[in-house]
A and B are shown apart, each in its own frame.
Chain A
Amino acid sequence: MRYLPLTDSDREEIRNFLEIKETKELFSDIPRDKAYYPLEHIPPAVPEDELIKTFKAIARKNKFPDYLSFLGGGAYNHFIPEVVNHLSQKGEFLTPYTPYQPEVSQGSLQAMFEYQTMMCMLTGMDVANASLYDGGTAAAEGALLALRKGRKKNTILVARNLHYEYIEIIETYIRHLEEYQIDYVDFDKETGKVNLEDLDKKICKECAGFLFQSPNFFGVVEDSKKISDILHGKGAYSVQVVVEAMSLPLLAPPGETDVDIVVGEAQSFGLPLSYGGPYLGFMAVKKDFIRRMPGRLVGETVDVDGNRGYVLTLSTREQHIKREKATSNICTNQAWCALRAGMYLSTMGKTGLMKISKTNHLNTAYFVKEIAGFDHVNIKHKNNFFNEVVLEVKHMPVDDFIDKLEKKGILVGVPLKWFFKDKAYASAVLINFTELHKKPDIDSLISAIGELQ
């Protein structure tokens, strides 16, 4: 077996050295009647050439590559420069573990430090951590951070137009922590945005903070400044969830709208769709939150000779030191994904990011403009979207609409009834446009929708 370097004579030599006859003897603490169970039910080894063929055959059962897709809703198909794929596959980056020995981990550490810096620049926040699992768990960690920082306050408010999967994850995280509870803030069905009156009404003395998504689940940019002002007026924290990180280079950074905690999903920065993972959760905060934030942080320091170097720092927040009193139980997270994001961001650079981000919006705006002529469909929230819009289907059940377009080779979008029981969204789909959609792609979507009149 090519992964196992010991030869039979090595094994024999080691056994002799250990003064045992059979390797089995090393396992004698394992209950005898349970040990060395028969392996007949395990399939036989597959040699390398066959393994490639087997997986190629499995991969060919996936038919999605034949379709023109406008699926978004938390996972986005963006361009990835080849340098990201090549550089991130270097074994020196791929095969070490968490940099516990900084003297031989400066490559990973400096790259993380640079990633943290770039996330701060994009979000306008003071500090970004080195990664969290994904957007949904980052949102849950953001809720817990606000609650920890809010000390005696036990309620976290969550916007109902936050990605439904994120809400589900927050609920799961908080359910068994009996000291905490969740309350929900409605959105305005006309604008698709957070209902500020409801927010104002719901904030109570016990509210530690409010989690809202911007651009929200319908693709609409929220009034984060107004939201932050309302919250700060009542002593609560503003927590913005950014599910589509590609919006950051185009939109006003959360730091400028007085948001306290930004959490989200940075899959758009150099990570392929990958059927949902691995992705990249991120968190960036105002200075005051540093010591209570979860996840790894890389800091700059010097070595004994006075040379610049990097280490994991503030580890007194973490599980291996604080055990059950830690700010989070996170250990392994998504370091390599953050490395790829750093590579992606520096390769695209300032001009590339701003251009790509704008292209996302322009492609969406073009669709919105062109579709306006149809009577059988309607864009629900027409103003200040980023790269997603809600399309209402008026003349047939939404499932039929999706099926008919699928037969034309188009995956039009995500049906909103998956996430909202409300009748207003029973016949709507969420459609996403990125820079990878070219004008002819959008035109063919428009004409396919037109043919369904």
Chain B
Amino acid sequence: MNKLPELIFNKSREGKTGYSFSETEIPDDLIVLDQEYRRDDIDDFPQLSEVEIVRHYTNLSHLNHSVDSGFYPLGSCTMKYNPKINETIAGFEELSAHPYSPMKLVQGNLEIIHTLDDWLRKVTGMAAFTLTPAAGAHGEFVGMKIIRQCLTDRGNPRKVVLIPDSAHGTNPASAHFAGYEIKEIPSNEDGILDVQTLKEHLNEDVAALMMTNPNTLGIFEKNIIAAAAALHSNGSLLYMDGANMNAFMGIVKPGDLGADVIHLNLHKTFSTPHGGGGPGSGPIGVSQDLVKYLPVPLVDKKGDRYHASYFNKGIGRIKNFYGNFLVMVRALAYLMALGKENLRTVAEDAVLNANYIRKSLEGALDLPYKSKTLHEVIFSDKGLPVKTMDIAKRLLDFGIHPFTVYFPLIVHGAMMIEPTETESKESLDEFIRAMKAILKEAEEDPEKLTDAPFNTPVRRLDEVRAARQLVLKWEKREDEKTDDG
């Protein structure tokens, strides 16, 4: 028996209505569109009543695991609690202006953008921000374009971007789309970048190093200041991927570590909801020398008036309008709620929680790097009778979302666990108990893991079939097609 709701198209029936909207007073005969430009029908488009729509989506929602429903230690994604008040504020109708409204009529919105910019500068030590990028990877792309434009102005855009093997997976693709070749450099046995190794890779072709810090092993790149110095003396720049800022918000400022460009993820560190895969927001912060390369528009304040400026001769425009404004609203509400009293505690609790999990499971799972870790911990499946994916799938039966699997690539069968600060100790203990129980099952009854999950709405799905026999949309079954077409 299939536990998923029927597809909405199969529930549709001619004559049902799910909406109500006042009729226009303008008569149909005013239409001035030639028939050749018009359509007569939208074949098979759904028609349902309001209550059927509500039940359809409510039943679908029950099939999802979410931060609101349980522990979600997906490493590098910072699945922290998304405060409800942020949703209320983002829903204020008075914020939902048209983006081309005259600036004097949207002073509140411009104030929000400017104030968030100010907050981000305060917590990162960067000289200025653009809030326009729509997501982390979009920010990376923008950051690399800023670097390219800067180096072009200095006479040579250069060719190569160095990326440690412990960096985020989006980094190589982002640098590539900014026109660079990628050179991967290895991290050392401590899981960090060695300055000597970096220096060996430096030459006149190197535009920048893209360093994730803390890296995807959860380890702080403690050579960052020396790395920045080596890069700068080579005429290269340092891009710091700050997606893991949750590890040290309020503890250290990337601007103090020599970073020229950083990106943040408002949907990670700053609590805005992940939405099932966006919308996010990936602000880019730059050092003083690079401010002139920021994309348009920038929001300035003169006296007590705010205005958006389009005159920056930077890299141009990278997104429509101002970016994901309502994501910014949520992030600002979050920062204001935290304030100086709690900013640092967020990072401290995130790191305490991650280390609690690390030490609790260290004897039971292989820990490939012994260095200190911050907000997340990465184990490997070395020595286990089952694979990482099997443990992940069995965790689903315990009502826990699995960790990130098989990433970073430098760890065999990586399990990347990031609890965040918004988990209680009880929740961590429950996870640790579940992991231990699963590891015991792995020894005694491994099939329980390889066959898992058992208690989910569907069981293991055939991904190979999905890719080979592509079904990317619903189509009316042949025998249901009427003879009108």
Interface contact B57-A343, CB-CB below 8 Å? yes
B69: chain A residues within 8 A (beta carbon): 91-92
CA distance A331 to B177 in the complex (A): 14
A337: chain B residues within 8 A (beta carbon): 275, 278-279
Query: Which listed residue, A23, A26, A349, A366, touches B26 by the CB 8 Å rule?
Result: A366
Given A127-B472, A332-B278, A106 and B340 touching (CB < 8 A)?
no
Given A106-B4, A339-B276, A89 and B321 touching (CB < 8 A)?
no
Interface contact B68-A94, CB-CB below 8 Å? yes
Interface contact B175-A104, CB-CB below 8 Å? no
What residue of chain A has the Cβ atom nearest to residue B475's Cβ? A117
Given A14-B356, A83-B53, A324-B182, A104 and B33 touching (CB < 8 A)?
no
Interface contact B461-A302, CB-CB below 8 Å? yes
A175: chain B residues within 8 A (beta carbon): 145, 315-316
B448: chain A residues within 8 A (beta carbon): none
Contact with B along A328-369 (1 / 0, CB 8 A): 111111111101000101111111111110110111011011
Please give the distance in Å from B293's CB to the nearest CB on chain A.
12
Interface contact A69-B64, CB-CB below 8 Å? no
Contact with B along A387-399 (1 / 0, CB 8 A): 0000000000000
Query: Which listed residue, A103, A300, A335, A359, touches B466 by the CB 8 Å rule?
Result: A300
Contact with A along B450-466 (1 / 0, CB 8 A): 01010011111111011
Interface contact A83-B463, CB-CB below 8 Å? no
A122: chain B residues within 8 A (beta carbon): 42, 45
Query: Which listed residue, A56, A275, A347, A358, touches B99 by the CB 8 Å rule?
Result: A275
A30: chain B residues within 8 A (beta carbon): 220, 222, 248, 251-252
B291: chain A residues within 8 A (beta carbon): none
Query: Which listed residue, B79, B279, B317, B349, touches A336 by the CB 8 Å rule?
Result: B279
CA distance A281 to B88 in the complex (A): 25
Interface residues of A in 125-160 (CB under 8 A from B): 127-128, 130-131, 133-137
Contact with B along A296-320 (1 / 0, CB 8 A): 1111111111011111011010011
B482 at the interface (CB under 8 A from A): no
CA distance A222 to B24 in the complex (A): 26
Query: Which listed residue, B60, B137, B225, touches A329 by the CB 8 Å rule?
Result: B137
B421 at the interface (CB under 8 A from A): yes
A298: chain B residues within 8 A (beta carbon): 472
A127: chain B residues within 8 A (beta carbon): 472-473
Contact with A along B331-353 (1 / 0, CB 8 A): 00100111111111110110111
A201 at the interface (CB under 8 A from B): no
A128: chain B residues within 8 A (beta carbon): 472-473
Interface contact B173-A56, CB-CB below 8 Å? no
Please give the distance in Å from A81's CB to the nearest CB on chain B.
5
B47: chain A residues within 8 A (beta carbon): 349-351
CA distance A382 to B46 in the complex (A): 34
What residue of chain B has the Cβ atom nearest to residue A63's Cβ? B105
A17: chain B residues within 8 A (beta carbon): 356, 359-360
B34 at the interface (CB under 8 A from A): yes
CA distance A51 to B112 in the complex (A): 13
A93: chain B residues within 8 A (beta carbon): 57, 61, 64, 66, 275-276
| Listed stretches B197-205, B322-330, B380-388, B434-442; interface member | B322-330
Interface contact B89-A6, CB-CB below 8 Å? no
Interface contact B134-A79, CB-CB below 8 Å? no
A333: chain B residues within 8 A (beta carbon): 134-135, 277-279
B127: chain A residues within 8 A (beta carbon): none
What residue of chain A has the Cβ atom nearest to residue B81's Cβ? A3
A120 at the interface (CB under 8 A from B): yes
A168: chain B residues within 8 A (beta carbon): 316-317
A230 at the interface (CB under 8 A from B): no
Interface contact B53-A75, CB-CB below 8 Å? no
CA distance A90 to B61 in the complex (A): 7
What residue of chain B has the Cβ atom nearest to residue A15's Cβ? B352
Interface contact B342-A113, CB-CB below 8 Å? no
B396 at the interface (CB under 8 A from A): yes
A92: chain B residues within 8 A (beta carbon): 61-62, 64, 66, 68-69
A105: chain B residues within 8 A (beta carbon): 63-65, 276
Interface contact B17-A336, CB-CB below 8 Å? no
What residue of chain A has the Cβ atom nearest to residue B372's Cβ? A29
CA distance A238 to B91 in the complex (A): 39
Interface residues of B in 176-206 (CB under 8 A from A): 176-179, 182
What residue of chain A has the Cβ atom nearest to residue B37's Cβ? A221
B9 at the interface (CB under 8 A from A): yes
B112: chain A residues within 8 A (beta carbon): 58
CA distance A91 to B58 in the complex (A): 11
A44: chain B residues within 8 A (beta carbon): 339-341
Interface contact A273-B96, CB-CB below 8 Å? yes
B368: chain A residues within 8 A (beta carbon): none
CA distance A107 to B118 in the complex (A): 38
Interface contact B39-A250, CB-CB below 8 Å? yes
Please give the distance in Å from A422's CB to the nearest CB on chain B.
19
A320: chain B residues within 8 A (beta carbon): 169-170, 407
Query: Which listed residue, B17, B220, B320, touches A135 by the CB 8 Å rule?
Result: B320
CA distance A87 to B53 in the complex (A): 9
Given A4-B422, A95-B274, A332-B277, A250 and B54 touching (CB < 8 A)?
no
B263 at the interface (CB under 8 A from A): no
Most buried by A among B34, B68, B315: B68
What residue of chain A has the Cβ atom nearest to residue B57's Cβ? A87
Interface contact A106-B134, CB-CB below 8 Å? no
Given A26-B374, A336-B275, A278 and B352 touching (CB < 8 A)?
no
Contact with B along A189-204 (1 / 0, CB 8 A): 0000000000000000
Query: Which listed residue, A46, A61, A133, touches B319 by the CB 8 Å rule?
Result: A133
Interchain residue pairs with CB less than 8 A apart (18):
A17-B356, A29-B219, A56-B92, A75-B320, A81-B50, A92-B68, A94-B275, A96-B67, A97-B276, A103-B458, A106-B4, A136-B317, A165-B321, A252-B36, A274-B95, A278-B325, A333-B277, A435-B24
List 16 additional A-B contacts (Cβ < 8 Å) besides A92-B64, A103-B456, A172-B316: A3-B342, A17-B360, A35-B252, A54-B336, A61-B111, A81-B50, A93-B66, A108-B64, A136-B317, A176-B178, A273-B96, A304-B460, A313-B466, A319-B174, A329-B176, A331-B170
Closest 9 CB pairs of A and B: A276-B321, A45-B339, A336-B275, A91-B68, A276-B99, A335-B277, A278-B279, A329-B173, A176-B179
